[in-house]
Amino acid sequence: MPFMKKKEKERRLKVSTKMTEKWAKVRTVKAFKEELTPVIAESGRRVIDLQLFARQMWCEECDVPLSLRFLEEERRIGLASKFFVRCHQCLARKEVLSSALAPRTTEDGRALYAINCKAAIACVDSGVGHEQFNKVLSAMNLPTIHANTIVTPERRMGPSIVEVAEQSCRDAILEERELTLRKSSRTHGQRL
């Protein structure tokens, strides 16, 4: 039956093409896994904004989650990381940030990462120097921060930090004055 034979031939060809495509994809994914393993292997620890990270670990086009198994590259900016993850379905390269961007940029317009700004504020606030801070980070197997990455947010946020400190001093003076007045009126009342 020539008609059936033709149909069967078409069916077999279709299955064969599908299988070839499938195995080609598996081979590509396998190659990625083998290629990308070293990126994970030498990684250590990171500080991750979980909510932001979970939102970005998704391929909108394929509607599938991304996997760090297909991490292709990492660019570190102090405590922040910019990850490049390959979608295992469409093989598109996706950018995933570990930290949100701060509303302010550097003077020459480069992005500032929230985690680095927070680290800069924490150092000023606690009186910990840059070198000591790096020692703590290094002991915890976290990435260390270059002095410029700490100093730039400090400079950018310096006026705001001073303003907050001044306001806090003014509040403390007012509170102390209030307490002294109350104490004095109580003492005065007792004398009467």
Q: Which residues bind Zn ion (CB under 5 A)?
A: 59, 61-62, 87, 89-90
60 or 108: whose CB is closer to Zn ion?
Answer: 60
Full DSSP string of 68-104: GGGEEEEEEETTEEEEEEE-TTT--EEEEESSPEEEE
State the minimum distance, in angstroms, from the CB of residue 88 to Zn ion: 8
State the minimum distance, in angstroms, from the CB of residue 157 to Zn ion: 38
31 or 100: whose CB is closer to Zn ion?
Answer: 31
Give the span between the Cα atoms of 167 and 163, in whole angstroms: 6
State the minimum distance, in angstroms, from the CB of residue 30 to Zn ion: 17
**What's the token pair of residue 64?**
């599938």
52 or 62: whose CB is closer to Zn ion?
Answer: 62
46 or 88: whose CB is closer to Zn ion?
Answer: 88
State the minimum distance, in angstroms, from the CB of residue 60 to Zn ion: 8
Give the span between the Cα atoms of 102 and 94, in whole angstroms: 21
Give alpha helix (H) positions in 42-77: 50-56
Give the span between the Cα atoms of 138 and 79, in whole angstroms: 11
